Chain A
């Protein structure tokens, strides 16, 4: 993730103050997040559901 993208996403997430005071921390957070999802195998079945499941019950 490049610097401009990180700054854009940080501002969009409401982290303008953190970006001004702790730019290294914001960059480190973005780095942590960048590659982690790449390590997850994509389910081959498009119907594969997430957990926890949607359940009908109180409130629905």
Chain B
């Protein structure tokens, strides 16, 4: 396993252009947003039949928006830092005039009246919506072959799972169908596809990005996050979507973050807490994942960071708290449909969502009380160090057509702790396995300190060149 093994591709092609580079080229009129959008739509037409990243491509509206963006650029009126840059939207997030299906028969005809706040903010920054992306049904049931649309596939090897639930977002970003996408993360659903597809996925601090206009899975665990090919693009996208929303009861009011500004800062003297027991004891990782994590730790140490070993509650307990809260809250949303239309759900989501019917109020309150203690334990750790380093997935992506293997590997992860505690957590590539699939690492920061998480992630990206690794899919 080596971070520099294979996968290098020239980045001169428009489809590998980063969001930041595209925005700069559009601003200086070296690149036409129409040409960029057309190039991506052509690529989508060619590759998406193999990837199934999209539920709906909104090509005509995207081209119209690109023409408007071009006219604005020519007249010197730039909407914002993402002017003319295409984006894909997970299909549990509202885009005005398009169905928000949640990849489910239940909501096949559910046309959104307005943009979700995060989409509105992306458009305000100048982004162009390309369409709606595949997800696990209601962001919980997948990968499934019994739904109205097929599951997305991994561009590194289309026989493999791209992770979920933001599957189309991960697959499409990694395959160069778009440079950035929105995902959602309740138990790891931004960071799992980021890990499986070798891209950068951030679950921001709980409350940093408005949830308004996003179909809920679990009110107190849901987060909306950026998915991109580079750390810099992720910071750029977060700047566009972060901010207080008085109409979202979970929204926080943090000071405005300038996430892209400090990206290149040195990690010298930064205290990095390595949570080894997650992957060494709680859920022993595949040796290639362990090797990748050690490589990241040694690289950061070589860059001047101080490594410390950190102990947190076990993954098993974090997972149980997450599950009780998630399934209880999800049940309260889905109970009427599960009662009346159980046949309209896929089997996986039907089984996962009905579990909430068998949990007691005592279970929910116990999990919520333990949650506050776990928050205190992670907060105590983050007083000793500046950032945490730990595993994301314990394995490279498994084959998508082997349900037993999906069942075995899906819970082998260390993402749910930070849905439980709400701390910002970023997953990205730690290298490639001998089988040519990405392995991953996760960085976790203090509340609203996404800037430090980005700086550490960028230090690793810069040293390892993970931003130049792309799948060989043509």
Spell out A's residues near B (CB within 8 Å).
1, 6, 9-10, 13-18, 21-22, 25-26, 28-30, 32-34, 36-37, 39-43, 48-53
Contact A28 B351 (CB under 8 A): yes
Write 9 A-B pairs (CB below 8 A) sorted by A numbering.
A9-B357, A10-B357, A13-B358, A22-B347, A25-B354, A34-B358, A36-B363, A48-B373, A52-B220
Instruction: Tell me the bound Cα distance from A49 to B373 in angstroms.
Output: 9
Instruction: Tell me the bound Cα distance from A24 to B141 in angstroms.
Output: 16
Contact B335 A18 (CB under 8 A): no
Contact with A along B336-357 (1 / 0, CB 8 A): 1011101100010011111111
Contact A36 B323 (CB under 8 A): yes
Please pick, from B250, B340, B354, the residue contacting A29 in the complex, using a CB distance under 8 A: B354
Instruction: Sort A-B residue pairs by CB-CB distance and give the 8 closest, nearest first.
Output: A50-B368, A33-B358, A29-B354, A14-B339, A39-B320, A13-B357, A18-B342, A37-B363
Spell out B's residues near A (CB within 8 Å).
220, 250, 313, 316-317, 319-321, 323-324, 327, 335-336, 338-340, 342-343, 347, 350-360, 362-363, 365-373, 375
| Closest partner residue, chain B, to A20 (CB atom) | B342
Contact A50 B369 (CB under 8 A): yes
Would A50 and B339 be within 8 Å (CB), given that A6-B358, A36-B323, A41-B317 are in contact? no
* Chain B: minimal CB distance from A43 (Å): 5
Contact B370 A25 (CB under 8 A): no
Contact B350 A18 (CB under 8 A): yes
Please pick, from A29, A37, A48, A53, the residue contacting B320 in the complex, using a CB distance under 8 A: A37
Please pick, from B316, B353, B366, B371, the residue contacting A37 in the complex, using a CB distance under 8 A: B366
Instruction: Tell me the bound Cα distance from A53 to B220 in angstroms.
Output: 11
Instruction: Tell me the bound Cα distance from A30 to B369 in angstroms.
Output: 23
Instruction: Tell me the bound Cα distance from A15 to B371 in angstroms.
Output: 29
Contact B372 A32 (CB under 8 A): no
Contact A1 B354 (CB under 8 A): no
Please pick, from A17, A34, A50, A52, the residue contacting B340 in the complex, using a CB distance under 8 A: A17
Q: Is the interface of B mostly helix, strand, loop or mixed?
A: helix
Contact A21 B367 (CB under 8 A): no
Please pick, from B350, B373, B375, the residue contacting A43 in the complex, using a CB distance under 8 A: B373
Please pick, from A26, A41, A43, A53, the residue contacting B354 in the complex, using a CB distance under 8 A: A26
* Chain B: minimal CB distance from A52 (Å): 6
| Closest partner residue, chain B, to A30 (CB atom) | B358
Known A-B contacts: A37-B324, A41-B313. Give 20 more (CB < 8 A): A6-B358, A9-B358, A13-B358, A15-B354, A15-B357, A21-B343, A25-B347, A25-B354, A29-B350, A29-B354, A30-B355, A33-B355, A34-B358, A37-B320, A40-B321, A43-B370, A51-B220, A51-B369, A51-B375, A52-B220
